[in-house]
Amino acid sequence: MMELRVRSLAETHAVAAALAGLARAGDLIVLSGEMGAGKTAFAKGFGAALGVAEPITSPTFTLVHRYDLPAAVHGADVLHHADLYRLERTTEVADLALEELADDRGIVLVEWGDVVEALFGDHLDVHLDLDDDLDDDVDPAEDVDLEGVVDTGRRIEISAVGPTWASRWSRLVDACEAFAC
């Protein structure tokens, strides 16, 4: 497991971009954390790093958003962004066929996927928590997202489940070194 600490929205996006730079077709990445912890903010930074130009929004009501990538990135030509917050049964998650979306030349980000993590095979877990110790360092003039929400620092824990990230793990650690705790 890797533990990181970021101080701003820009740094959250930098960690997401580092992860996106190593992601490849077939990857499933679970984003977890409390409401408002930064899962969608992370997804925005991840998608931007892959070249997604359209606004990335939380798919809370539509369940899955699809973003075509402008050019194939590590074998992937689509980013799927799912949100499982409103699902109540594991059969509803199975009906989304998230692993099949990943297998079809896609990368899948899953918000609130930790509640059904046992259903997923190999994946990367990204857990975000607000870092109350950094609240005094926030400059509202600089750290505001597109919706006008003031950003705070975060703690980010990244861990791999299964072997798919083993060959990329040391590169991910190196790419995130500036944010290591």
Spatial contact of 102 and 108, defined as CB atoms under 8 Å apart: yes
Q: Measuring CA to CA, which residue among 139, 123, 125, 179 is closest to residue 155?
A: 179
Please classify residue 25 by burial: count the beta carbons closer than 10 Å to its beta carbon, then call 0-12 exposed, 13-18 middle and 19+ buried: middle
pTM of the model: 0.85
pLDDT tens string, the chain, 181 residues long: the values are 999 999 999 999 999 999 999 999 999 999 999 988 999 999 999 999 999 999 998 877 778 888 999 877 888 999 999 887 766 566 665 666 666 666 678 898 988 888 777 777 889 999 999 987 765 555 544 555 555 444 679 999 999 999 989 999 999 999 999 999 9
Integer angstrom CA distances of residue 63 from 11, 42, 158: 27, 17, 24
